[in-house]
Chain A
Amino acid sequence: MLYGVWQSLFRRETLASDPEFVGFLNYTEMFSSDSFWHSFNRTAIFVFGSLIVGTTLGLLFAFALFRVVGRLRFLRAVTVAPYIISNVAAAVMFRILFNSQFGVLNEFLSWFGIDGPSWLADQGLAMLVVIFTQVWTDLPLTILLLLGGLMTIDKSYLDASLVDGATGWTRARHITIPLLAPQILISTVWLSYSTLTGLGVVLALTGGGPLRATQTMAMEMYTVAFRNLEFNQALAIATFILVLNALLTLGYVAIGRRYEYEQ
């Protein structure tokens, strides 16, 4: 049985071939369907939005933690906390947090006289909430990766830059971040993989709504497979997602290489 499970892991693509051989029909249909391209665009916003928010916050928190690492056990425990939560639990928490009627966020905004919007019912804002929830669940790993990178940086570089009179921001911009490039690359690849193939958060938080505003490709695959019961078409989407993931990874690595050469 285990062998069977493993085999299915390996034979993902070949399972796509139906008893009735249709060639690339599933793919041509997929590429000509509007709902597929809609989900493609939504995914692009989701993935790159998560990357920007996640990497920014990850760097910020990693830099801050680096100064106190090891001294505060509490902070380390806090950092990792979202990792031990299931996607569904995170979704429920954020749904309560962003609730338009009693959510703490809107309450907070009302102190400043801002009438908080109904986050999850608005087509533009719902994606924002999904991005933040996804980043929240993925951030522990990003922080730890970057923190690990910071701890391996040779101190002599920093000392040399101090001698040259570099301070704070300049040092971060020209010394630390370039030296951190490999870790930033890894965390980018991982975050992108996680959002591109991530289904749990989207499904539990919005289910693709409102009005398909958060219908990512992973969500589209799930809908096609388990609501429309068109398994072969769903496998075409899944395969496309995996190929896209591989291409993105190659792209990130290429960009990372070029960045390293420039130094």
Chain B
Amino acid sequence: MTDIRDYDETFSEPTARATTAVTGGSPEQPGTVGGRVRRLIRNILISIPLIGLVVWTLTPFLVTLSVSFKDRAEVFADPGLIPSSPGLAAYSEVLTSQSFITSFLNSLIVGVGTTLLTIAIGVPAAYAFARFNFRGRHLLLLFTLLPRLVPSLGIMVPIYRLAVAVGALDSRLTLIVVYTGMLLPLAVWLMVGFFQQIPREIEEAANVDGASLWGRLRYIVAPLAAPSMIMIGVLAFREAWNEFTLVLVLTSTPGKRTLPYELYLMQGIEGIANFPGEAAFTLLTVLPFVLIYTRVEKYVVAGLISGSGK
């Protein structure tokens, strides 16, 4: 918790300046009645879009939550937001269904695999780019960025045909490799930036003290780079957990699908839509990542900002 509070404090400093710039320079004096009323009106005017933002973002979640606690008939009979007789039938139905359990496990395996592989390849590569001078370093670094410029739409067909050609359809490993390939450019570029921020002198001092390359990595570089590694891990896990269009073309047998694919199928398979089931499935898909997300939110926000340059 403490680290998050630190984060807030670092952010509140420019805010304080911003607030003084906005309010301190205003023509009304703070004690007067007119000033107070104006300030009140201004605060209300500011909070309207903020409330709008909360409503805009949370309504879909709340509505889905509400539907997930109803039973199938109640969904149509009682459109109110608060269910009259809340029940967990939809959840137990989803949690006991084979499709949810297998796809959940698949998502977990693919997610963790992608995270580990991205870090295992991305971090050493970035370290090499940041610390060692070798021929064609800049060219190679630019080359790394190329896949980032191609949207997944552009690689759907080529990757499908490649997977068919090498017989790699319906495999979790294929998904892991594909997602890692998509994440690596971002991971390498971000990590190069972080490694370059670590002063070379710290490592040189350790070198003088007799530390080996491995020792330097283990005791100096890794702890310093840990936050950014977490950030990259979260980004990689998110990609693997949520990706939909590539898993759609790369898998076909029921045992190999991930959660988004299974959820997509759920909408189509049943004749009469099972809305509580879908809602419960959706929330159970979202929940694990929300749990991770609340712990590492600051890394996600930081990663989101730095990942935007794609």
A75 B4 Cβ-Cβ under 8 A: no
Within 8 A of B (CB), among A205-259: 218, 221-222, 225-226, 231, 234-235, 238-239, 241-242, 245
Q: Does B196 contact A (CB under 8 A)?
A: no
A235 B308 Cβ-Cβ under 8 A: no
A226 B64 Cβ-Cβ under 8 A: no
CA distance A77 to B50 in the complex (A): 13
B161 A1 Cβ-Cβ under 8 A: no
B64 A96 Cβ-Cβ under 8 A: yes
Give the most central of A9, A83, A103: most B CB within 10 Å.
A9
The interface on chain A, measured as residues whose beta carbon lies within 8 A of the other chain's beta carbons, has a size of: 86
CA distance A83 to B242 in the complex (A): 10
CB distance from B272 to the nearest CB of A (A): 12
A86 B308 Cβ-Cβ under 8 A: no
B63 A93 Cβ-Cβ under 8 A: yes
CA distance A218 to B61 in the complex (A): 27
Q: Does B53 contact A (CB under 8 A)?
A: yes
CB contacts (< 8 Å) of A198 on chain B: these are 153
CA distance A86 to B245 in the complex (A): 11
Known: A80-B300, A81-B57. A107 touches B162 (CB 8 A): no
CA distance A198 to B152 in the complex (A): 9
CA distance A85 to B168 in the complex (A): 28
CB contacts (< 8 Å) of B282 on chain A: these are 89, 92-93
CB contacts (< 8 Å) of B15 on chain A: these are 68-71
CA distance A199 to B156 in the complex (A): 11
CB contacts (< 8 Å) of B76 on chain A: these are 101-102
Of B174-182, B203-211, B213-221, which binds chain A?
B174-182
A67 B245 Cβ-Cβ under 8 A: no
CA distance A89 to B308 in the complex (A): 22
CA distance A2 to B121 in the complex (A): 11
CB contacts (< 8 Å) of A22 on chain B: these are none
Q: Does B269 contact A (CB under 8 A)?
A: no
A86 B153 Cβ-Cβ under 8 A: no
A82 B57 Cβ-Cβ under 8 A: yes
CB distance from B310 to the nearest CB of A (A): 8
Q: Does A52 contact B (CB under 8 A)?
A: no
CB contacts (< 8 Å) of A83 on chain B: these are 300, 304
Residue of B nearest to A148 (CB): B305
CA distance A140 to B305 in the complex (A): 10
Residues of B participating in the A interface, judged by any CB pair closer than 8 Å: 4, 8, 11-15, 17-19, 21-22, 25-26, 46-50, 52-54, 56-61, 63-64, 67, 75-76, 79-81, 146-147, 150-162, 166, 168, 177-178, 180-181, 238, 241-245, 248-249, 259-261, 263-264, 267, 275, 278-279, 281-282, 285-286, 289-290, 293-294, 297, 300-301, 304-305, 308, 310
Residues of A participating in the B interface, judged by any CB pair closer than 8 Å: 1-2, 4-6, 8-12, 15, 57, 60-61, 63-71, 73, 75-90, 92-97, 99, 101-104, 107, 136, 139-141, 144-145, 148, 151, 155, 158-159, 162, 186, 190, 193, 197-200, 203-204, 218, 221-222, 225-226, 231, 234-235, 238-239, 241-242, 245
Supply 5 A–B pairs (Cβ within 8 Å), ascending by A. Answer: A9-B158, A10-B146, A67-B18, A104-B59, A199-B245
